[in-house]
A and B are shown apart, each in its own frame.
Chain A
């Protein structure tokens, strides 16, 4: 892993370890309701200060915490138009299948490419450390996957171009 990326991911990991201290907290507004406070943002006393971790202008991670939920929003690197559409397609593909991930949000927060919503229930069902490992590995894998996709598309294009030009020989 390159050094700048490692530092970025380490910073995200440390922040998540500190932020992921969630407990059950019923809704103060509506009886017998239990809602993730980070989404509603109705009670400021239940919200912590959001943390924005920027690797560069194009890549950043926003971590918003509340008493019973945590929202992580990621902006992924997109160097050119091809990476742009590949990232958009892939992250939209994942978001549409958010139920398979449980902690994934169906719609990313505005200004970001993908968002996670972790509640206290997720922390009860899953191990906290492994959840953090998943988020960090996800960030790493997304970058890797988009780079590989771009390379594969270029390689395919080259092969197809070669086959097309062979017809003229």
Chain B
């Protein structure tokens, strides 16, 4: 099967057998291969490169005026008008897209032609700068194919961005004669300025039959949900003006209107708002007395004051985006770029990319009828939310408005997501600005579930050769009522595990897994033998935990199945002198880690540790033979954003993390090493995910003045 998904290895990676060098034949073979390689290289080196360069030059050096001319006879067919009932399942030929492992649609672009009518007059301008940019972006993207037979989507090179710049009937005829037109099936047209006087239709008037329309300015009556794509009206100012992002926060004006040629009725409403609320409302209009040479589009005026546009937009918290003759307005793009929160007043308007973008997070939509209440509506929005909307507005611009490339790729991605819904881009990827993506977590175990107690847990004991101690651990752990299986990970390749008959007889199944290499990460491998959600990782020398303590640990884990629940706790601290993190194992009032020498956690984290550990941490841990537990703590905290739970009082652990306990110096090296780990991991994760807390979990009646025999877990905390 063509899936790219990771297949599970049931065992750790196998050892590659070391090759042994063998004699002459081997050398001779190698030698001849080398020789052949050299000859081949040489041949290619000196091969004439002329074909490549010549073809390259001719193509690159073409002008749009040199493209072939196509004459359209007056009676050439005209497609049907757009079909309002079209949906993906009725008008789109999905068989063309096929099933492919990358889940990417293939897009073909027709080559550029110049269309003239019978009399030789041009049908439209050959191509606009923006449409050329858009097609270039598509052809440079992963979606592009040059093979018309493999294509799933066809993009004509006939430029229909602006309906006013073309002749409707003839353009339709030009579309109809495209080689794969077939009633417009799977054809995608891009249009930003639809309609024209007198009725200003909200969708492109060119008859286009079943073609999909990526249009700016759809209304809810012309937009075919799930078929068309609503796109922004590109503002060419975005390319010209560099507005650096302005930090969120209060700005000079509260509401600003910058559109020219607003309908007088809207103007009156705005003026009424201004009269009521004074200087916090600024209404700009066209400048009447500008000196020559100053482009009118870059200036706005209020009475005699002249403002730079679009810079002035950054001076306001909210910017009004009113409908004009059309619903889609280029000013929306300018407003977003300025990080000003758009107040959209255009009834029935389908916002750009509304299929995937959550506009409620970046804008305020106000019905036209409610314009007089605009001020109070906007004032009711909490400041913190305004700041987020400002950031969100800017992010929408950066990701989806700033260039024709951004618009083109977002459009194709939306169509792609419809065809391969199971590989669709998530809401978060579309909507979360990078800062949020960075600081937020999406817990993979987000559903609040308390797993049934009956399932029990699997104890995984990592051992090397301390058989005697291992057997004691097994015997102790087997007394825990909820234990359902015991798995011994035999990490010693040079020695066989003891014979079956020598193992302690326990009431639950006991499995021994032999590993291929002595690696610490073997402890966290998601073995198929682990059938429960809960895993108890336990070292082969942890014999001091009572059955009550282990059972209680399991009960606590059930209440916090997405956390590490462990016994000995540790802490990380910021060392101000050294300016780095420090590991702390003293008796502290806080914990941020638990040692995995004895800890419960969800099996899912084994899967994460083995397959999704960021950077080189996994190898680093295996190479240093240390800190696998710190790595696990980092991983879980990073993915869940939650702290660990330390259970039960501290007891005398035989320094479970040290290899040798005697001697202060050894202990100190150990601490240094562990500190190094923390610093290393923090740099790989790019952040410090560990959370510090001051609590630990005890049974409800722990140390309460109450008969011990009535307590569920009486035997807790004995040293």
Answer whether A and B are interacting partners.
no
Chain B residues packing against A (C-beta within 8 Å): none
